[in-house]
Amino acid sequence: MGGTGALCGAWLGVSTVLRINERYLQVIILVAIVLITAFTIFKKDMGQRNRFRGVNAGTLVVALPLAFALGLDT
């Protein structure tokens, strides 16, 4: 299921990137890199604890849009 969302997101992401002006795309990528860097620096304990409680309806509601968003990033 998540693979389908990622595939749709990838298709939409590529379509969007091909339509965006190159200069705007450079700014978007720069902002994304800065935000990811800041998150990584300030969230040093990320991944230290296993909080996974299994798959249920709530996790699917969160996971499917995230898979779609990851596809957009591809």
Between CA 25 and CA 27 the distance in angstroms is: 5
* C-beta of residue 68 within 8 angstroms of C-beta of residue 13: no
3-state helix, strand, coil in the chain (%, to 5): 75, 0, 25
Mean of pLDDT values over 12-22:
86
Tens of pLDDT, residue by residue over 39-65, are: 888 888 877 888 777 788 887 788 778
Average pLDDT, the chain: 81
Quote the pTM value.
0.54
Provide the pLDDT for residue 27. 92
Provide the pLDDT for residue 74. 55
Between CA 11 and CA 73 the distance in angstroms is: 10
Between CA 25 and CA 1 the distance in angstroms is: 29
